[in-house]
Amino acid sequence: MACFFISLKTSNYLLHIKFIIDKFCEFEKIQSEEEKSKIKDKVLAYESDILIRNNFSLEYELPYPFLKKILGLRDQAVLKFIIKNEKNAVLSNFCNDNDKIKHIKGKISEIVNFSFLFPFFLNFNTDTISLSCLKLALNKLKIQININDIINIICNQKEKEFVSIDVNDINDIEICSSLIDELVLSKIQKVKTHEEHNVNNINNIKKQNFFIANTEYDIGTKPKSETKEKSKNETFLKKKRK
């Protein structure tokens, strides 16, 4: 809701915070004025966290142009390298390389879309997020290719001056990809599994479970019980940072 509230301001489509909270509570069947007040305070606090964390810069480049650029470098060199070196039953079911490339692109796009469910852009740049989604897509397709090899291909292309990639950023890519997998993809998989086992009872699935699970996740190594007291004094974004 905080991100939604900010987006309304930046698009000059102003809605009062009370209107947004009331609509949310109506949807969630929350009637307590005390609870509404608590939600409002949280939304406003998160709004400040987000604005401060990104230095009040609300211009954000999406991963799609970057991925389109690197996957198209020198006649799709990256994708052809992946096809040449992949050895798994999933892609072997496709008749030709074009179908394989289409399937790989589809998986990358799917993971990019899912990555929007958490504000990774507050901690990582677009290049890192894009390559993290590419890495995850290969993992999900069981294609064993080192992301370093792909970065080397990109950096060796004549168009590399238009693509800002540093091989030293590999650590950020590893961290970002693991967080996308843990904070988003694993939760989506759990929801899908639950739906498969409850096809006749889909309305019983609590949509907020996905987000509740995320807010409980601590990137650190301490168990939740050890950080519970400390978390009361931390902001939402601080708890998510490595």
Taking a C-beta distance cutoff of 8 angstroms, is the pair 173, 132 a contact?
yes
Say whether both 151 and 46 belong to one domain. no
- Counting Cα atoms < 13 Å in the Cβ hemisphere of 75 gives 0
Say whether both 217 and 117 belong to one domain. yes
Say whether both 40 and 24 belong to one domain. yes
Taking a C-beta distance cutoff of 8 angstroms, is the pair 83, 145 a contact?
no
Residue for token pair 């889909």: 202
pLDDT band at 134 (very low <50, low <70, confident <90, very high): very high
Say whether both 170 and 151 belong to one domain. yes
Say whether both 156 and 38 belong to one domain. no
Q: Which of 33, 53, 73 is the last residue of a domain?
A: 53
Q: What DSSP state is assigned to residue 161? A: G
Say whether both 159 and 85 belong to one domain. yes
Angstrom CA distances, 242 to 44, 126, 198, 239, stand at 24, 18, 36, 8
Say whether both 75 and 184 belong to one domain. yes
pLDDT band at 128 (very low <50, low <70, confident <90, very high): very high
Say whether both 68 and 12 belong to one domain. no
Q: At 69, is the secondary structure helix, strand, or coil?
A: helix
CB atoms within 10 A of CB 123: 18
Q: Record the tokens describing residue 43, joined without a space.
A: 């939304």
Say whether both 75 and 48 belong to one domain. no
Domain range holding 68? 60-242
Taking a C-beta distance cutoff of 8 angstroms, is the pair 46, 2 a contact?
yes
Angstrom CA distances, 78 to 33, 89, 168, 183, 230, stand at 55, 20, 19, 28, 45
Q: If you average pLDDT over every residue of the chain, what do you get?
A: 76
pLDDT in tens, 140-195: 888 888 888 888 888 777 555 556 666 567 889 999 999 999 999 998 877 666 55
Q: Record the tokens describing residue 188, joined without a space.
A: 């989506």
The Cα–Cα gap between 171 and 190 comes to 28
Say whether both 107 and 38 belong to one domain. no
pLDDT in tens, 62-90: 888 888 888 887 778 888 888 887 776 56
pLDDT band at 57 (very low <50, low <70, confident <90, very high): confident
The predicted structure's pLDDT at residue 208: 37
Q: Record the tokens describing residue 217, joined without a space.
A: 């996740």
- To the question of pTM greater than 0.75 for the whole model, the response is no
Number of domains in the chain: 2
The predicted structure's pLDDT at residue 43: 94
The predicted structure's pLDDT at residue 110: 93
Taking a C-beta distance cutoff of 8 angstroms, is the pair 128, 176 a contact?
yes
pLDDT above 70 covers a percentage of the chain that reads 72
Say whether both 43 and 160 belong to one domain. no
Say whether both 48 and 64 belong to one domain. no
| Span 111-135, average pLDDT | 90
The predicted structure's pLDDT at residue 19: 92
